[in-house]
Amino acid sequence: MAGEMNPRERWGLLLIDEFPDRPPVYPLVTSHASAVYGCDLISYCSDGKILAEAQLAAQRKYGHEGLSVFTDVGLIAEAMGSKYHLREFEVPILNRPIIEELSAIDKLKLPDPGGSGRLPVYLEAIEKLYQAKGDVLPVFAFVPAPFTTAAGLRGIEDFLVDTITEPEAAHRILELSLEAAIKFCDECILCGALPMLVDPLASGSVISRRTFAEFALPYNRKLITHLHRYDLDVTLHICGETSSIVDLISDTGADLFSLDKLDIDIARSSIGDKVRLVGNLAPHNLMASSGVSIEDNCHHIIDSGIRNKKGFVISTGCEVPIRCQPEKLQKYIKLGKEARYE
């Protein structure tokens, strides 16, 4: 209709605590874009031009209100020396961490965002997306948070053990992970992206509240404090269960919290006056095998989320599955765009 806001305007109002005509509709369409574009994930994860073209193809198909630059949570750890296995039809997985012995910590070097590992893939994709659609669509750079990167450097099980038996070593790895994330975020922002910190291993499904408070929260807070120097709003995404830590999320300084397996009513009552909420249709509902009604789940999420005091973004709880049923995703986006503030 005439005078309707474009997505960037809609996001812009939300981020200055004004309510736009409706919440932005931004399901986390990441690797699924490769299926839309018709490329394998090795190409998608290792070629910035292909990543950007795939994102644009997916956005044209679905009409969601944001572009996502994300390959995998091992991106920074790989750039610092850990070995990851790229796969044609699944996301990359850790093959060999760089810190097999704690003595290796002292040998770690911070990565060069323009030349280490696959970091340049991100920067190329961001530049191309910003040039193509940055005037009407926000570009989000999904950056692994320090706790998740530290686990990629050390190996998940060994790092989790370190937090108990070798806490000083764990903090040294986290400090290096923080420095690397700061350098990379700086470059992503300069290329035109808004940062979204992804910290799946800080989930309550993986660690305790105590471990989160001691080893994840402080480093997220330091990173977000740095990013606030740009006068940008920062999104924090944590996969899995977060009911045990939701009241701590605002202490990270995050402006938006992208929630996964957490009842949106609980999130709203706990932190909704401090943090904008992003979420949270369960991704498996978008699979062809799911018998769950998109309409029922969508209405529950929207009816609750739209009452959040700080604002709300209609999204998925985690990444849209690579092999999701397109019709279900289209239906979710359509229903989301029909939402209106009372």
Asked if residue 198 lies in contact with residue 69, where contact means CB atoms within 8 angstroms, the answer is no
Dump strand ranges (E) for the chain: 67-69, 83-85, 93-96, 139-144, 194-198, 235-237, 256-258, 276-281, 312-316
Residue 342 domain-assigned (yes or no): no
Q: Is 42 helix (H, G, I), strand (E, B) or coil?
A: helix
Chunked into runs of 10 residues, the chain (342 residues) has average pLDDT values of 80 92 97 98 98 98 98 98 96 97 96 98 98 97 98 98 98 98 98 97 97 98 98 96 97 98 96 96 92 85 94 97 96 95 78
- Which range marks the domain in which residue 169 is found? 7-337
- Alpha carbon 119 to chain centroid distance? 16
The answer as to whether 122 is a domain residue is: yes
Residue type, 248: L
Angle at 146 between CA 34 and CA 282, to 5 degrees: 45
- Residues listed for the chain: 342
CA 264/CA 278 separation, integer angstroms: 9
From the number of C-beta atoms within 10 Å of its C-beta (0-12, 13-18, 19+), residue 160 rates as middle
Closest CA to 169 of 232, 214, 215, 102: 102
Q: How many helices (H) and strands (E) does the chain have?
A: 14, 9
Task: Identify the DSSP state of 106.
Answer: G
How many separate domains does the chain show? 1
Residue 330's pLDDT is: 96
User: Does residue 2 form part of some domain?
Assistant: no
Task: Name which of 3, 32, 20, 75 is nearest 318 in CA terms.
Answer: 32
Angle between helices 146-154 and 217-227 (to 10 degrees): 120
Residue 280, preceding peptide bond in cis (omega within 30° of 0): yes
In a domain, 222, yes or no: yes
- The whole-number pLDDT of residue 166 equals 98
Tell me the C-alpha to C-alpha distance, in Å, between residue 271 and each of 75, 184, 247. Answer: 30, 29, 6
Find, among 60, 69, 58, 67, the residue nearest to 24 by Cα: 67
Q: Which helix (H) or strand (E) holds 76?
A: helix 75-79
pLDDT of residue 1: 44
Dihedral over alpha carbons 252, 257, 260, 263 (to 10 degrees): 100
Give the pLDDT score at 3. 62
Is residue 88 situated within a structural domain? yes
The CATH number given to whatever domain includes residue 309 is 3.20.20.210
Is the residue at 1 inside a domain? no
